[in-house]
Chains A and B, each alone.
Chain A
Amino acid sequence: MGVEQKLGNMGVVTTTLETAVNWARTNAMWPMLFGLACCAIEMMSAQAANYDMSRFGMELMRPSPRQSDLMIVAGRVSRKMAPVLRRLYDQMPEPKWVIAMGDCASCGGVFNNYAIVQGVDEVVPVDVYVAGCPPRPEALIHGVMTLFEKVKGEKFKDLVKA
């Protein structure tokens, strides 16, 4: 569906700025190229030929946190990695979102022990949790689409920090 169909005969379309900005954000969201463990392999699969996440405007994985909007925490976060993860998150410019991919990132998964942070939400605020060990690429893409739904409903006044 191109923009012509929306415009109709009038050549004019009315919308709110919020909707337009959110629409733009969902169509060019740059995830950070940040893999931790097993889930990172499935994240690569999601980027590769069979699943091809670039259909959703996400083909550009940025290796630098300063250029990315979305952090996909793909894998288990150890206690040694947690401060690094937080620092990377702090380096990302606003607005930013986080997807906890997989059971380990969501809740510790099978590793209920001394080494693994029991859910990455102890360290950074998480928007979407994707279940699975590891989640299939389809599940990750579904998680991303869920995040898009969330972004589309965002209000400017919520994003502005007091």
Chain B
Amino acid sequence: MSEYQLQEIPVGPYKHLVSERAISGETMILNMGPQHPSTHGVLRLVLELDGEVIVNCIPEIGYLHTGVEKNMEAKTYLKAEVMTDRLDYMNNMGNNLAYVMAVEKLVGLDVPERAQSLRVILTELQRIASHLVWLGTTALDLAAMSVFLYCFREREIILDIFELVSGQRMMVTYFRPGGVWRDVPVEFESAVRNFIKIFPKRIDEYEALLTKNPLWLDRTVGIGKLDAATALQHGVTGPTLRASGVNWDLRKARPYAGYDQYDFNVPIETKGDTYARYLVRVQELRESLKIVEQALNKLPIGPVRSENRKFVPPPRSELGTSMEALIHHFKLWTEGFPAPKASIYSAVESPRGELGVYLEGDGGPKPYRVHWRTPSFDNLSVLPKIVKGHLVADLVAILASIDIVLGDIDR
């Protein structure tokens, strides 16, 4: 009789989404989230349960809606980049890359070789960091605590490298239209080499803990099977798609930022279950490390940002000596540069899949419309189909395995 009585979720708002049995009261409607340790953010799932078996799963999103797209329309092209870091907060460098590539495409800006290589190195390091967080939290959800601690230990090394180059651990805003913010410090190369040296052994450690662990296999093999046709229907991309046997990686299919110069494999698995998605991501750790090493070995010497002063602000050192530079500096940071009246789409392969930016310029210094095609949003749409018939405990594994980031979904 007290207020602590179990509150049942009314069927009303979900009438068209649940089965007949829910309306008659035979099955139970259960709320999961938005505050739940295993939803990887503020995702709300409304579950229809028959005992412990999931009959229907209705994701409700929007609890982290930030209005990033609208905010970007109110800022100049240079200033809007700050917003991109905070979209998919596991993939800050990747978001920067997607955005600056779109701006460069819109205004037709060239990027020096050295900047391209730096972009590849840092984006791949970010991919490793993102997969490490994924591996750690997924293992934590399936009660393997120590993997979480190991993964975050290695992630700190990458964050230290980011701090070295940009001064920030997460919200880096390091890539800028026309290059990167400034050249990397001299310690950069040794820091990355150190990481390349120690990391392969650490991947072996994670694999020793999980890959053949019977408990891990019990929780993941055959759970949440996603076939290639369904995946393509829902626009699923990234490791989730590649675990279903579709060979689609933008780095190979539509190379950008010089990815065609590097020799790496795209890991494919065919089973399409949670275990396959785990295997793909672990192999991607090794492949990304290969790219980092190759890019570092042939890192060219030269400028790191374009000399086109109509779009790229001059370096700080020129401000004291050149009147031209001072004028450009003020022009670019107060007014911004005008972009042509055109619309473009540019996409990169983020750790979660195809991350695309649609930019529409109206001739002024601010974008008329920005839209993000975020991979987590499309990947989440497949969840209701693949959890049907599984237990509630398996839902946690499946949800973790498609690697959603709520900042990416809700924007």
Contact = CB atoms under 8 A, between A and B. Distances in A.
Tell whether A pairs with B.
yes
A63 interface: yes
A32 B170 CA distance: 23
A116 B63 contact: no
Contacts of B36: 63
A28 interface: no
Contacts of B70: 113-114
Contact of A45 (B82, B83, B150, B152): B152
Interface string A57-91: 00000010100000000011010110010001000
B206 interface: no
B283 interface: no
Interface in B30-70: 34-37, 41-42, 62-68, 70
Contact of A38 (B35, B65, B86, B410): B86
A133 interface: yes
B82 A110 contact: yes
B37 A48 contact: no
A50 B41 contact: no
A38 B64 contact: no
A110 B85 CA distance: 11
Interface in A98-115: 110-115
Nearest to B163: A136
Interface residues of A, number: 33
A111 B66 contact: yes
A137 to B, nearest CB: 9
Contact of A50 (B89, B156, B171): B156
B377 to A, nearest CB: 16
Given A35-B41, A88-B35, A41 B90 contact: yes
B65 A48 contact: no
A37 B169 contact: no
Interface in B114-155: 133, 136-137, 148-150, 152-153, 155
A44 B137 CA distance: 10
A42 B170 contact: yes
Given A38-B407, A110-B86, A113-B71, A48 B153 contact: yes
Contacts of A134: 169-171
B42 A36 contact: yes
Contacts of A115: 65-67
A114 B240 CA distance: 33
Contacts of A113: 66-67, 70-71
A133 B35 CA distance: 22
Nearest to B148: A48
A111 B410 CA distance: 14
B151 to A, nearest CB: 8
A133 B83 CA distance: 12
A114 B83 CA distance: 15
A76 B37 contact: no
A120 interface: no
B40 to A, nearest CB: 9
Contacts of B152: 44-45, 48-50
Contacts of B170: 38, 41-42, 134
Interface of A: 33-38, 40-42, 44-45, 48-50, 63, 65, 75-76, 78, 80-81, 84, 88, 110-116, 133-134, 136
23 contacts: A33-B37, A35-B41, A36-B41, A36-B42, A37-B41, A41-B89, A41-B90, A42-B169, A44-B137, A45-B156, A48-B136, A50-B152, A63-B36, A63-B37, A76-B64, A78-B64, A81-B42, A88-B35, A110-B83, A111-B66, A113-B66, A113-B71, A115-B67
Given A116-B66, A136-B169, 8 more contacts: A37-B64, A45-B156, A49-B153, A80-B65, A110-B83, A111-B86, A112-B71, A113-B70
Interface of B: 34-37, 41-42, 62-68, 70-71, 82-83, 86, 89-90, 133, 136-137, 148-150, 152-153, 155-156, 159, 169-171, 406-407, 410
